[in-house]
Amino acid sequence: MWTIAEIVKGSGDPGLTLRGAIRVWNPALGVVAASVALSLIGVAAIDVSELRPDGAAAAAWLSAMALKQLAFAAIGVVAALVVALPHYRLIGYLSWPLMVVVLGLLVFLLVPFVPESIVRPRNGARSWISLGFTDVQPSELAKIAYVLVVSHYMRYRTSHRKFLGLVAPGLLTLPVVALITLQPDLGTASLFVPALFAMLLAAGARIRHLVIIVVAAALVAPATYPFLRDHQKRRFVALVRQVQGDRSGADDINFQSFTAQTLVGSGGVSGNADGRARALLHFNRLPERHNDMIFSVIVTRWGFLGGLAVMGVYLFWMVSALATAAVCRAPFGRLLVVGLSAFVAAQMVVNIGMNLGLLPIIGITLPFVSSGGSSLVTSWLMVGLILSVGLHRPRPPFREAFEFGDEDG
């Protein structure tokens, strides 16, 4: 029986010492640093989106929305520390109960007789549960629960190396994606696909099998168009018209996209002064400038260089996260980091694409930056889980992570 003193001082077994169990310096610290930078950028951008009263000092105060975002960032940091302290393997045992709770919340959102004081549709979607002092978006929590469940399920399996073995991970994905789609929130639902593919690739799935699935899905996709809702169809039609140079929807369905592009162009190389940027944002009436279109705000204020810097911070975030996965020898920890990183990467790419007019506007927030408590706290919970993987070495006994020969599967 090891005593506390023996564990702290070292017993000769590196798995039973603090030095052997904890990596103080690890790549996940880069994820933490990038997340702090992005959160502060988000607070500043949200504040810029508000028009200050004449004569107000630029650095004297933050807008109410920016202060609220800063408060949620502080809550997120605390939540991340709480999640990072226990070994991530212990958190894995809670994955299935957490998924059951999340699925229950997603079903609750769709119950028609729930009063609007609790579930109030926004932009036609039933996605938020009101707690009085704040709102909770269960689909954000579903991202974490989903990655935990799939990572825990696949950690010691090899069946995904065969084509039919991909059915089980697909079935794990189906319920959560279906419930989120029914809200309807097609944008958030679509993020689960790249997360699943990233975890399958990290687990050693064969690329040719995944390519077959992608090609089959692309061939079937046009057949699903009649089943989309009217506003979803209009979004895709609007994007096609925009690509064709048709500005007939500039005052209608494409108003948000064209306005965002105009503001992005107004930023130039180095951006606008504080007051001018606020005036541009105010008088151009960009919808959802605090949330989905926050990248347009950043470029309006800090220009092309500012937008490039934000993308650079995200790149550093991703490199640090993938380095954390690479040094983790436990399959569950590696899949956990890869899945969470895929969600952040997919959201970043889609959101910036929306702001630049390259993708349809489907209501995807920019992680750590967009206004919203559920999104920000969830993003920081992801950071906490990645930090847990970086800090804690695998506890023996464990298996090496997904080393297969060409003959396997």
In angstroms, the CA 346 to CA 365 distance is 11
Residue 121 is assigned to a structural domain of this protein: yes
pLDDT at res. 231: 65
In angstroms, the CA 295 to CA 277 distance is 13
Residue 15 is assigned to a structural domain of this protein: no
- Dihedral, CA of residue 49, residue 52, residue 57 and residue 63, to nearest 10: -60
Is 80 exceeded by the pLDDT of residue 381? Answer: yes
Residue 226 is assigned to a structural domain of this protein: yes
Residue 169 is assigned to a structural domain of this protein: yes
Residue 17 is assigned to a structural domain of this protein: no
Is 70 exceeded by the pLDDT of residue 98? Answer: yes
User: Domain range for residue 123?
Assistant: 25-51+63-391
**Cβ count near 149 (within 10 Å):** 22
Of the chain, the percentage scoring pLDDT greater than 70 comes to 82
pLDDT at res. 9: 39
Report, as an integer, the average pLDDT of 102-131.
86
Residue 277 is assigned to a structural domain of this protein: yes
pLDDT at res. 122: 80
Structure tokens at 187: 């944008």
String of DSSP letters for 317-353:
HHHHHHHHHHH--SHHHHHHHHHHHHHHHHHHHHHHH
Residue 403 is assigned to a structural domain of this protein: no
Residue 364 corresponds to which amino acid? I
Is 50 exceeded by the pLDDT of residue 13? Answer: no
Report, as an integer, the average pLDDT of 184-190.
87
User: In 3D, which of 340, 348, 342, 345 has the Cα closest to residue 390?
Assistant: 340
Is 60 exceeded by the pLDDT of residue 77? Answer: yes
In angstroms, the CA 83 to CA 106 distance is 23
Of the chain, the percentage scoring pLDDT greater than 90 comes to 46
In angstroms, the CA 303 to CA 59 distance is 20
pLDDT at res. 163: 85
Give the range with max mean pLDDT: 99-103, 222-226, 358-362, 400-404: 99-103
Q: Please count the structural domains in the chain.
A: 1
Q: Is residue 87 a contact partner of residue 395, using CB atoms and an 8 Å limit?
A: yes
pLDDT at res. 135: 83
Is 80 exceeded by the pLDDT of residue 207? Answer: yes
In angstroms, the CA 316 to CA 304 distance is 18
Residue 214 is assigned to a structural domain of this protein: yes
pLDDT at res. 225: 67
pLDDT at res. 330: 87
Is 70 exceeded by the pLDDT of residue 54? Answer: no
Using alpha carbons, list the distances in angstroms from residue 243 to 225, 237, 247, 254, 360. 19, 10, 10, 11, 11
In angstroms, the CA 257 to CA 276 distance is 21
Report, as an integer, the average pLDDT of 47-51.
85
Is 90 exceeded by the pLDDT of residue 244? Answer: no
Is 70 exceeded by the pLDDT of residue 31? Answer: yes
For all residues of the chain together, what is the average pLDDT? Answer: 84
3-state secondary structure of 130: strand
Q: What is this structure's pTM?
A: 0.87
Which residues 6+ apart lie within 8 Å of 391 measured at CB? 22, 23, 24, 26, 28, 84
pLDDT at res. 382: 97
Residue 111 corresponds to which amino acid? V
